[in-house]
Amino acid sequence: MLDPIADKLLVGILIAALARDGSLSALDMIPAVAILFREFFIPGLREFLGNAAVVLPVSKLAKWKTTVQLVALAIVLVEPIVPGTGLVSDIALWAAGILTLWTGWQYLAASWPHLSGDTK
């Protein structure tokens, strides 16, 4: 039960710390904010739908999303230490952001009939 919460806390705290110390550029903040939004929106959506006995199962792509997020943040962390990883960290962070938005959209689309009341 706590594992998904731990992932979200780790990602959220890491993004906040990296933003605070200047490791994330203004452009990097776009995928970072998308990641943070999705990490809090989807659990809230699950909680809301749970009251209506609707289950949104975790997809394989969402598991990959978490992996890509953590790898991207690890690369951002080592960027000051390992020369030449700036472009790699940017690409990894944007890939994580795109995967995050994609999986968020999938969950929203799957839950939309229950949110709109159109569950015929």
Q: For residue 120, what pLDDT band results from cuts at 50, 70 and 90?
A: low
Q: What percent of the chain has pLDDT over 70?
A: 97
The pLDDT score that the predictor gives to residue 55 is 87
- Domain range annotation of the chain: 2-116
Compute CA distances 65 → 13, 14, 27, 34, 109, whole Å: 17, 16, 20, 13, 17
pLDDT score of 53:
84
Give the pLDDT confidence score for residue 40 in this predicted structure. Answer: 92
pLDDT at 106 over 80: yes
Per-residue pLDDT at 96: 98
- Over residues 57-95, the pLDDT tens digits come to 889 999 999 999 999 999 999 999 999 999 999 999 999
Q: What pLDDT sits at residue 1?
A: 62
> Could you tell me if 96 and 31 are in contact, meaning their C-beta atoms sit under 8 angstroms apart?
yes
Q: State both tokens at 62.
A: 């969402």
**Which residue would you say has higher pLDDT here, 27 or 116?**
27
